[in-house]
């Protein structure tokens, strides 16, 4: 596929990283193995990336452990740590355009999203946690005169971060930034589909002056690299965003090794509920369409179940479909594109399989449903809407991680809550209503870690992010994420009278 004129020169000048970072130096797999990094934009090989193995994980973890034990980072003053992380944020900002281009090539997401959403949010995480790191206070206990007790937050040690491909750098920085800010060392394993920005940022961390061994990146596949990290006896915690299946494995690995802590941000089947008294039906229709089709549906909080009050169903579905029709599939590198390719042939086939399954279950296909732009060699699926979905429908139960919306109806608040909660997941949920009492009571009854009223995905880094039920546990974002990477130590002095 030809590269759009305005971006061709940038692509030609882009140097793709092809090394890991271990112990403050660029590194390749010990056995020299590499794998082909494919761009979903056209199915072509972008470059070769180290296919690390167990020995490489051992090496990275040893470097992280040494850095943690001698305190070269942990024991620096908060002021100095902050300076280094700010410097890292500045370097990411300097290289924002290159990072965005890499992210778009690696994932198939629109260059406009990578430039305006993914990379700026990754930078924001680094800045936010740098700014927060000297505002972590402990507690003084209510002891009697002969005692003095206090509790302090101490970094856990070596954090293994295993991250997904949908927002590669953004998700990585949700974890790496607070873990580093708390004084830990980190070994990051980015998803094999989209390793480039993590590899580049590890290089920038060296340039920023982060001491060797504090931030390491090992590339490769879930097995062996992710598994080796999660089974490692010298890793204190695994922080993960990805599928429920792998989340389960990580808990087994932790149980079978050193009982490392595990924090899991898994999938969802998030409902967006629209009542007839919705204060702004056009805004709700925008949110219903973009809530599921943003990033080609590859979002853990995707609003993949739309619950509409029966009296407005036909009108509202028409509005949502109108918005969705304007979402044109396009070349991710064209700056006007707002909807690009799916991450891989496999992920595309999962979406297409669910579309076929929904047809065979007799659901009513309202929009889309096809692979398009196949001649490019890329993996493109149209925004797809099914009506007549019910709680037993496969697309109401299984996470697709693709651009497929299922529309359902309800008659009243009680039924809306019942349908919304009828899922093993509990990540995000949203409702649109002008009735304050109803909104209040529903926010209490919805079993989800995120509830948005009259807006979708409407909070930011200041608020905790994570799920109830099988959507996982542990929170990214907010000060809770800082505390996640720390243990509490209680210290008590027994005092004698002053002489
Ligand atoms: P998806 O199925 O959508 O690709 P995954 O949950 O498989 O999502 O991937 C998320 C991350 O988990 C990736 O970095 C991947 O390499 C990693 N991973 C996959 N399998 C394992 C495993 N068995 N152990 C540890 N990490 C894994």
Query: Is residue 63, in this structure, part of any structural domain at all?
Result: yes
Is the distance from the beta carbon of residue 265 to the nearest atom of ligand 1 less than 6 Å? no
- Ligand 1: centre distance to CA 53 (Å): 15
Mutate to test the pocket of ligand 1, among 50, 235, 242, 346 (most ligand atoms within 8 A of CB): 242
Same domain? For 384 and 441 the reply is yes
Is the distance from the beta carbon of residue 189 to the nearest atom of ligand 1 less than 6 Å? yes
Is the distance from the beta carbon of residue 164 to the nearest atom of ligand 1 less than 6 Å? yes
Instruction: State residue 6's pLDDT score.
Output: 85
Note the pLDDT tens digit of each residue in 381-398.
999 999 999 999 999 999
pLDDT band at 499 (very low <50, low <70, confident <90, very high): confident
Closest by alpha carbon to 123, among 135, 111, 131, 112?
131
Same domain? For 317 and 253 the reply is no
3-state secondary structure of 347: helix
CB-CB neighbours of 367 under 10 Å: 19
Mutate to test the pocket of ligand 1, among 37, 162, 166 (most ligand atoms within 8 A of CB): 162
Same domain? For 318 and 192 the reply is no
- Beta bridge partner(s), residue 306: 272, 407
Is the distance from the beta carbon of residue 242 to the nearest atom of ligand 1 less than 6 Å? yes
Instruction: State residue 498's pLDDT score.
Output: 82
Same domain? For 44 and 166 the reply is yes
Close Cβ partners of 274 (under 8 Å, ≥ 6 residues apart) = 281, 284, 288, 306, 307, 308, 309, 312, 316, 431, 432
Query: Is residue 179, in this structure, part of any structural domain at all?
Result: yes
Contact indicator for 264, 473 with CB cutoff of 8 Å: yes
3-state secondary structure of 387: strand
Is the distance from the beta carbon of residue 188 to the nearest atom of ligand 1 less than 6 Å? no
We report the CATH number of the domain holding residue 411 as: 3.40.309.10
Q: Exposed, middle or buried by CB within 10 Å (0-12, 13-18, 19+), for 145?
A: exposed
227 is an active site residue:
no
Note the pLDDT tens digit of each residue in 297-313.
999 999 999 999 999 99
* Whole-angstrom distance, CA of residue 39 vs CA of residue 181: 33
- Beta bridge partner(s), residue 158: 185
Same domain? For 224 and 291 the reply is no
Q: Exposed, middle or buried by CB within 10 Å (0-12, 13-18, 19+), for 231?
A: buried
Query: Is residue 493, in this structure, part of any structural domain at all?
Result: no
- Beta bridge partner(s), residue 18: none
Query: Is residue 396, in this structure, part of any structural domain at all?
Result: yes
We report the CATH number of the domain holding residue 249 as: 3.40.605.10
Contact indicator for 271, 194 with CB cutoff of 8 Å: no
Is the distance from the beta carbon of residue 192 to the nearest atom of ligand 1 less than 6 Å? yes
Averaged pLDDT of the chain? 98
265 is an active site residue:
yes
- Ligand 1: centre distance to CA 271 (Å): 25
Q: Is 368 left (phi over 0), alpha (psi -120 to 50) or beta?
A: left
Residue 1 pLDDT more than 90? no
Same domain? For 218 and 154 the reply is yes
Catalytic position from the list 20, 52, 278, 300: 300
Query: Is residue 132, in this structure, part of any structural domain at all?
Result: yes
Task: Determine which residue's CA is closest to atom 17 belonging to ligand 1.
Answer: 222
Same domain? For 152 and 254 the reply is yes
- What is the average pLDDT across 13-33? 98
Same domain? For 146 and 12 the reply is yes
* Whole-angstrom distance, CA of residue 160 vs CA of residue 61: 9
Same domain? For 61 and 207 the reply is yes
Domain count, the chain: 2
* Cα atoms in the 13 Å half-sphere on the side-chain side of 348: 22
- Ligand 1: centre distance to CA 188 (Å): 13
Contact indicator for 304, 347 with CB cutoff of 8 Å: no
- What is the average pLDDT across 132-161? 96
User: Which range of residues forms the domain containing residue 141?
Assistant: 5-266+473-487
- What is the average pLDDT across 201-222? 98
* Whole-angstrom distance, CA of residue 11 vs CA of residue 47: 13
Percent of the chain with pLDDT over 90: 98
* Whole-angstrom distance, CA of residue 5 vs CA of residue 84: 37
Same domain? For 199 and 325 the reply is no
Instruction: State residue 65's pLDDT score.
Output: 98
Q: Which atom, in ligand 1's list, is nearest to the CA of 249?
A: 23
- Ligand 1: centre distance to CA 225 (Å): 10
- Ligand 1: centre distance to CA 251 (Å): 13
- CA triplet 460, 466, 160: central angle to 5 degrees? 105
Query: Is residue 24, in this structure, part of any structural domain at all?
Result: yes
Is the distance from the beta carbon of residue 406 to the nearest atom of ligand 1 less than 6 Å? no
Query: Is residue 466, in this structure, part of any structural domain at all?
Result: no
- Ligand 1: centre distance to CA 240 (Å): 9
Is the distance from the beta carbon of residue 231 to the nearest atom of ligand 1 less than 6 Å? no
Note the pLDDT tens digit of each residue in 253-281.
999 999 999 999 999 999 999 999 999 99
**224 cis-preceded (ω within 30 degrees of 0):** yes
- Beta bridge partner(s), residue 154: 487
Is the distance from the beta carbon of residue 230 to the nearest atom of ligand 1 less than 6 Å? yes
For 216-303, where are the alpha helices, taking DSSP H only? 227-231, 244-256, 281-293
Same domain? For 23 and 111 the reply is yes
- Ligand 1: centre distance to CA 353 (Å): 21
Query: Is residue 499, in this structure, part of any structural domain at all?
Result: no
- Ligand 1: centre distance to CA 267 (Å): 13
Is the distance from the beta carbon of residue 330 to the nearest atom of ligand 1 less than 6 Å? no
Is the distance from the beta carbon of residue 249 to the nearest atom of ligand 1 less than 6 Å? yes
Same domain? For 282 and 421 the reply is yes
Note the pLDDT tens digit of each residue in 54-97.
999 999 999 999 999 999 999 999 999 999 999 999 999 999 99
């Amino acid at each position: 596929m030809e590269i759009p004129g305005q971006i061709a020169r940038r692509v030609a000048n882009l140097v793709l990283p092809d090394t890991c970072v271990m112990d403050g130096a660029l590194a390749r797999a010990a056995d020299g193995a590499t794998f082909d990094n494919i761009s979903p934009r056209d199915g072509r090989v972008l470059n070769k990336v180290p296919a690390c193995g167990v020995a490489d994980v051992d090496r990275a973890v040893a470097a992280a452990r040494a850095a943690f034990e001698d305190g070269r980072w942990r024991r620096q003053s908060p002021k100095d740590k902050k300076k280094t992380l700010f410097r890292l944020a500045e370097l990411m900002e300097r290289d924002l355009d290159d990072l965005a281009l890499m992210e778009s090539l690696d994932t198939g997401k629109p260059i406009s999203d990578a430039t305006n959403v993914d990379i700026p949010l990754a930078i924001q995480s680094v800045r936010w946690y740098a700014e927060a790191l000297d505002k972590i206070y402990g507690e003084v206990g209510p002891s009697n005169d002969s005692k003095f007790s206090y509790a302090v937050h101490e970094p856990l040690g070596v954090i293994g971060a295993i991250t997904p491909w949908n927002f590669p750098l953004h998700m990585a920085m949700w974890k790496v930034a607070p873990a580093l800010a708390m004084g830990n060392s980190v070994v990051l394993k980015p998803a094999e589909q989209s390793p480039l920005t993590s590899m580049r940022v590890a290089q920038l961390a060296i340039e920023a002056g982060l001491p060797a061994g504090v931030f390491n990146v090992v590339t490769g596949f879930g097995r062996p690299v992710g598994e080796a990290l999660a089974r490692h006896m010298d890793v204190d915690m695994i922080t993960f965003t990805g599928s429920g299946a792998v989340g389960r494995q990580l808990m087994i690995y932790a149980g079978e090794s050193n009982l490392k802590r595990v924090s899991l941000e898994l999938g969802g089947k998030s409902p967006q509920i629209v009542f007839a008294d919705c204060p702004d039906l056009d805004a709700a229709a925008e949110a219903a369409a973009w809530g599921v089709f943003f990033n080609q549906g590859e979002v853990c909080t995707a609003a993949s179940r739309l619950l509409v009050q029966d009296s407005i169903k036909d009108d509202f579905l028409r509005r949502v479909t109108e918005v969705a029709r304007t979402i044109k599939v396009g070349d991710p590198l064209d700056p006007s594109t707002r909807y690009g390719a799916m991450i891989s042939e496999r992920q595309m086939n999962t979406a297409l399989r669910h579309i076929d399954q929904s047809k065979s279950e007799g659901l009513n296909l309202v929009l889309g449903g096809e692979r398009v732009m196949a001649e490019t060699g890329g993996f493109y699926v149209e925004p797809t809407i099914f009506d007549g979905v019910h709680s037993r429908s496969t697309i109401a139960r299984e996470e697709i991680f693709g651009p497929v919306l299922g529309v359902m109806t309800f008659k009243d608040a009680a039924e809306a809550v019942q349908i919304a909660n009828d899922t093993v997941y509990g990540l995000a949920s949203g409702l649109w209503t002008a009735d304050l009492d109803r909104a209040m009571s529903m926010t209490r009854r919805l079993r989800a870690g995120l509830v948005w009223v009259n807006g979708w995905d409407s909070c930011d880094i200041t608020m905790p992010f994570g799920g109830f039920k099988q959507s996982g546990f542990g929170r990214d974002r907010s000060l809770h994420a800082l505390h996640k990477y720390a243990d509490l130590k209680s210290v008590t002095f027994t005092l004698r009278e002053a002489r």
